[in-house]
Amino acid sequence: MENKRNHPYYLGSREYQKEDTIIDLGDCKIGGGHFVKMAGPCSVESEEQILQTAKAVKEAGGQVLRGGAFKPRTNPYSFQGLGLEGLQLLRKAADQYGLKVVTEVMDEGHIAMVREYTDIFQIGARNMQNYRLLEAIGKEDKPVLLKRGLSATIDEWLSAAEYIANEGNRQIILVERGIRTFETKTRNTFDVSAVPVIHRLSHYPILVDPSHAAGKKEYVEPLTLAGVAAGADGFIIEIHPHPEEALSDGEQSLSLKQWASLSQKVDALLPVVQSIYDRKDS
């Protein structure tokens, strides 16, 4: 107990656990040298859209299908998601193509519903410091993907993860998705330094989300490759069969062809990175 009082994220620290946490989803593992590709649309819009996307995710070597059923939008008049129908379509598409599911849970009242359809709970950037939600998710026995808040420091991010871990759930995946700075040419600023910093401070796997960091599709590929080169345990990106028609975040979504091309480049880079990168020496 003394260690917890003296260390704001003791359970997530290398002091508490030296070896990397590995999230085990059966045929998909994350962390500890296991690289994961997560991709899918910002929002589940229709059965045709999500099935077409799931097929493309699988064919390009992805393991996890992402998709929003409940969308926390900045503008209340923007598309808010299909809700339960979206969850059902997401699960159907993932099962058809042998993929896992990650989707966002926005409040405590949605946990039971989302639990039925997802393999990984997602806590979005806007809810990173929703402590009651973090505590409730901490009582679940499924992995949790925790995105970094818009203006959160790394210490604040790890402290948010501690709320989950302190309730018993240590299956935590961190996601760097860009932070708010004075720069306006990108939606957010991709903090690639967070990858090695997290690996030094914590045993949790860390993924990168270049879609939300960039806000523009033309920057998604170079930021993804930068994250891989920095030692990320995987990535989560937005893709869509027809980005120009997407109901949300189309400007930062890759087409299915662009996704396949990016996945090939990651496959080419990854062995090089793994051959020269020894986390134990960092």
Residue whose tokens read 């995987």: 234
Q: What is the pLDDT of residues 163-220, one digit of tens each?
A: 999 999 999 999 999 999 999 999 999 999 999 999 999 999 999 999 999 999 999 9
Q: How confident is the model at residue 87, as a pLDDT?
A: 97
281 vs 210: CA distance, rounded Å:
27
Average pLDDT, stretch 239-247? 95
178 vs 195: CA distance, rounded Å:
12
Record the tokens describing residue 160, joined without a space. 């948010």
Record the tokens describing residue 83, joined without a space. 């809700």
**60 contacts: CB under 8 Å, gap ≥ 6:** 37, 39, 259, 260, 263, 264
Q: What is the pLDDT of residues 42-61, one digit of tens each?
A: 999 999 999 999 999 999 99
41 vs 18: CA distance, rounded Å:
35
Record the tokens describing residue 39, joined without a space. 């991709």
Q: Which carries the bigger pLDDT value, residue 280 or residue 108?
A: 108
Q: Quick one: 273 exposed, middle or buried, by C-beta within 10 A (0-12, 13-18, 19+)?
A: middle
Q: How confident is the model at residue 164, as a pLDDT?
A: 99
CB distance 144 to 164 below 8 Å: yes
Looking at the domain that runs over 2-277, which CATH code has it been given? 3.20.20.70
Q: How confident is the model at residue 71, as a pLDDT?
A: 67
Q: How confident is the model at residue 80, as a pLDDT?
A: 65
Which whole-number Å values give the CA distances from 138 to 70, 168, 184, 212, 277, in the listed order?
20, 6, 36, 25, 32
78 vs 247: CA distance, rounded Å:
8
Which whole-number Å values give the CA distances from 8 to 126, 152, 153, 163, 266, in the listed order?
21, 15, 13, 10, 35
Q: How confident is the model at residue 70 (pLDDT cuts 50, 70, 90)?
A: confident
**24 contacts: CB under 8 Å, gap ≥ 6:** none
Tell me the whole-structure pTM to 2 decimals.
0.94
Q: Which carries the bigger pLDDT value, residue 114 or residue 4?
A: 114
144-147 vs 172-176, strand pairing mode: parallel
Q: What is the pLDDT of residues 87-120, one digit of tens each?
A: 999 999 999 999 999 999 999 999 999 999 999 9
186: left (phi over 0), alpha (psi -120 to 50) or beta: beta
Q: How confident is the model at residue 228, as a pLDDT?
A: 98
Q: How confident is the model at residue 132, as a pLDDT?
A: 98
